[in-house]
A and B are shown apart, each in its own frame.
Chain A
Amino acid sequence: MSEPRLTLQFTVNGSEQIIEVSPTRRLLDILRSDLNLTGPKEGCSIGRCGACSVLVDGQSTPACLLLACQLQGRSVQTIEGLRDEPVFERVSAALVNAGALQCGYCTPGIASTLTAALRNNPTATAQELEQALYGNLCRCTGYTGLRQAVAELART
């Protein structure tokens, strides 16, 4: 059983990576297991919960759905690579101030998605930001704090 291998060249958090992988290895496993970037979390493995959201070429994408063979030449950013960005700083401060998290397992995905939405549209309305989050599930909070954080981000 010799598996085909792929030489994958792509960018992760700004640094060039060249790795030998199975073409069907999921981006989520490459990040979490191979590159030790455990910020993105696994919640459903089928693109439904948003806990694994990362930015691929600037768009929020479930890392559980992308395979190595789809990543050639692309640029991936995880929450680890977003932390120093001013937009992310605003996002995380808004989440903290609004009490928008409890267990926090959904939070990396939510923070990444919000960062992408605001980066792509700095004047996004609360409604637009909420729509960006419809793929991000949270089981703990009831979303009230999240909605407050979104309102805050749309205002400032």
Chain B
Amino acid sequence: MMTSTTPVKAEARNLSFFYNGGNNAVKNVSMPLYENKITALIGPSGCGKSTFLRCFNRMHDLYPGNKYEGQIIMHPDDTNILEKNVDPIEVRMRISMVFQKPNPFPKSIYENVAYGLRVRGEKNRRIVDDKVEEALKGAALWNEVKDRLQDLAFNLSGGQQQRLCIARALATDPEIMLFDEPTSALDPIATANIEELMSELRNKLTILVVTHNMQQAARVSDYTAYMYLGELIEHGETDRIFTRPTRKETEDYITGKFG
């Protein structure tokens, strides 16, 4: 019943994606992202999860020859963010991303978090300070770094670096946040921290997360989508997908018979 009452934040409509060489990595996928919910994307390696995710912030525009077909509609303004006349920068200002491997800039902790604001031309020191603090608190990193904001980000541990990257993505108040296997480079404790963080972030924004880890999908997500060979096989509430999948392929994958 949740499905019918929860507002949709964004939805892919018949989305296909072709890499430069013509490789059709995403095939005609239609799928909603519900507002203030976590949607997990699972599926075997190479099935197109990252490719699909990166359509949402037009990351593929950075490389020549890539082609989208179909739409990604963002609500409430009903913008098709894949449309040619929508600037990818505008899209990235609304939808931020956290990558698989922590990728802080070789700058201070403070400057890493502030960068999104700098890009937007924010010069007011007070505002930047406040936003940086808020984002670091939001990423559950503030207490660990508040006394060394000017230290280099590289000096943080892997888990801290990933939370710093979340803070960086958070500082600009995005509507949607994309996570591409955010914990695959982290140990179990750092992973638990990030998962907890994602659950909290859900109150503020909408999350799409790619994960290889089935338990993780079951633990953190509200909705789960299973992809295979570029196609969306099944999408639904996580509880249902993991207990009563309707498609045989999904069941085989989550029970470990395949994948």
A pairs with B:
no
